[in-house]
Amino acid sequence: MSAFNFEIKIPTRLFFGVGSLERLGKFAGDLGKKAMIVTGRHSSKRTGLLYRVEEILKKAGVESVVFDKVTPNPTDELVDEGSKMAKEEDVDFIIGLGGGSSIDCAKAIAMTTSSGGKFWDYVSVGGGKKPKSALPIVAITTTHGTGTEIDPFAVITNLKTKEKVGIGYDVIFPKFSIVDPELMLTLPKDQTLYTSMDAFYHAIETFISVHASVFTDMLALDAMRRVVTYLPLAYENGDDLNARTNLAWANTEAGITLTLAGASANHAIEHGITGFHPDIAHGLGLCMTGPNFLEHIKDHIVEKLAIVGKEVFGVYEREKEKASELAIMKLREFQGIFKLNRKLRECGVKDEELEDIAKVSYRAMYRVVENTPGNLKESDLLEILKKSF
Ligand SMILES: [Fe+2]
């Protein structure tokens, strides 16, 4: 497909910028009289953010209830529990407050509450039903990773089958999103790192996706450049609002490219890994396999990698083959600064699990694998996993 053949559809109304949290009060009343705030157990309380959001809603005449049970890698059971509460409380809309887990959980709850049944009915490897509707969703992100505030995806894990699946339906595009970099100043160092690298991999994976266009390429390159420039600054000084703002924008750009062009197989592999090991951070998982993944498909993406080398890492090399190799080398170097070039076995992954991880990755995330140049099979995923072990 030509890079000049594309469609742009992002129905979310986005408020970006320092202080944009206050905009919530302007539109919340239009969404109904009662909201359910979906958030994690601790951080939004510790930072006072949950209280701030409740106050803004109150001033706007909106009542709110809180579902504060979200953990990293939220499960389908948690979604069903949240959906039960949303029905019992008869809420009009759902607010996802926090990182990707809270927002994804909010999206899944909004969909399951409105469409009925259980969450897993709407997963292709589960029941495969198409949801009819979702309650209106408001996303308030406190991290600069995932891109979920601007995409139609939600990632939910089934602990029984160890499948970590990303669903994608237009009904779960947030109606409103707030990206306020001020809310990200309290993000701890490890989360600063992992969420930024998640955004980086969204960008590079969509940049090489078979559905990439001139529009997504422009955003993806800019997102990669901003992560490489501003992550070291935000990592060094978490209060650097300019660095946080640039990372927040990189994440939003990468979220748009994710929506329009789709991630590629590195995300499929990572979902396989954290389906088996939910304690491994998503961004770390991506870094452990990312460079090996790019190397595996290098022959199919020479041109694109050469551009990444030149535009993102400042590689001066005319010969494209060489420039593409240097791009991967530079990425490894960049990850090395933050000790992200870890091996899977150092993070608890077992040799005997690799085949099953490849199998689940391929089955649960085949759509993402299909976005990848090189027509990858399950055996390719296994090879990348073995190299990263
Ligand atoms: Fe991701």
- Tell me, in angstroms, the distance from the centre of ligand 1 to residue 46's CA: 26
**Of 236, 212, 237, 211, which Cα lies nearest the Cα of 223?**
212
Q: Where residue 73 falls among pLDDT bands split at 50, 70, 90?
A: confident
Mean pLDDT over each residue of the chain, to the nearest integer: 96
Task: Note the pTM of the prediction, 2 decimals.
Answer: 0.96
Distance 255 CA to ligand 1 centre (A): 9
C-alpha 194 to ligand 1 mean position (Å)? 10
- Cα of 152 from ligand 1 centre, angstroms: 13
Helices vs strands, H then E, count in the chain = 15, 8
125 pLDDT tier (thresholds 50, 70, 90): confident
The arithmetic mean of pLDDT across residues 152-168, rounded, is 90
Domains of the chain: 13-184 (3.40.50.1970), 189-388 (1.20.1090.10)
The per-residue b/e assignment along 179-200, b for 16 or more CB within 10 angstroms, e otherwise, is bbbbbbebbeeebbbbbbbbbb
**CB neighbours of 48 closer than 8 A, spacing ≥ 6?**
none
Q: What is the 3-state secondary structure (H, E, C) of 281-304?
A: CHHHHHHHHHHHHHHHCHHHCHHH
Cα 335 to Cα 330: distance, rounded to the nearest angstrom:
9
| Cα–ligand 1 centroid distance for 318 (angstroms) | 32
How far are the Cα atoms of 1, 210, 223, 324 from residue 300, in angstroms, in the given order? 15, 11, 22, 11
Task: Determine which helix (DSSP H) or strand (DSSP E) holds 101, and give its type and residue range.
Answer: helix 100-115
- How close is the Cα of 32 to the center of ligand 1, in Å? 31
Strand locations in the chain (E): 13-16, 34-40, 63-70, 93-98, 137-141, 153-158, 163-168, 176-179
Distance 285 CA to ligand 1 centre (A): 10
pLDDT of residue 131: 97
The tens digit of pLDDT for each residue in 19-62 reads 999 999 999 999 999 999 999 999 999 999 999 999 999 999 99
For residue 178, give the 3-state DSSP assignment: strand
* 148 CA to centre of ligand 1 in angstroms: 9
Residue 213 CA to residue 216 CA, distance in Å, equals 5
Mean pLDDT value across residues 349-354: 97
What gap in Å lies between CA 200 and CA 286, rounded to an integer?
10
- 13 pLDDT higher than 70: yes
Beta bridge partner(s), residue 138: 95, 176
Q: Is the pLDDT of residue 1 over 70?
A: no
Rounded to an integer, the average pLDDT of 238-248 is: 98
Q: Tell which residue, 98, 47, 49, has the closest CA to residue 69.
A: 98
Ligand 1 mean position, distance from CA 28 (Å): 28
Q: How far is the CA of 302 from the centre of ligand 1 (A)?
A: 23
CA of 168 to the centre of ligand 1 (A): 13
Q: What is the pLDDT at residue 127?
A: 72
* Residue 269 pLDDT class (50, 70, 90 cuts): very high
Alpha-carbon distance of 283 to 328, in angstroms, equals 17
Exposure string for 134-154, b = 16+ CB within 10 A, e = fewer: bbbbbbbbbbbbbbbbbbbbb
pLDDT over 90, % of the chain: 93
* Span 95-112, average pLDDT: 97
CA of 198 to the centre of ligand 1 (A): 5
Cα–Cα distances (Å) from 388 to 266, 348, 363, in that order, read 12, 13, 20
pLDDT of residue 110: 98
Q: What is the mean pLDDT of residues 290-319?
A: 97
CA of 372 to the centre of ligand 1 (A): 15
Ligand 1 center from residue 186 Cα (angstroms): 21
Q: What are the tens digits of pLDDT across the range 168-211?
A: 999 999 999 999 999 999 999 999 999 999 999 999 999 999 99
What are the structure tokens assigned to 310, written together? 């030149």
DSSP notation for 16-43: ESTTGGGGHHHHHHHH-SEEEEEEESSH
- Identify the sign of the CA torsion 323, 324, 329, 331: positive
| Parallel, antiparallel or unpaired: strands 163-168 and 153-158 | antiparallel
Query: Which is more confidently placed, 94 or 279?
Result: 94
Query: What integer is the mean pLDDT of 352-361?
Result: 96
Rounded to the nearest angstrom, the distance between the alpha carbon of 150 and the centre of ligand 1 is 13
- 282 alpha carbon to ligand 1 midpoint, in Å? 7
Q: Does residue 309 carry a pLDDT above 70? A: yes
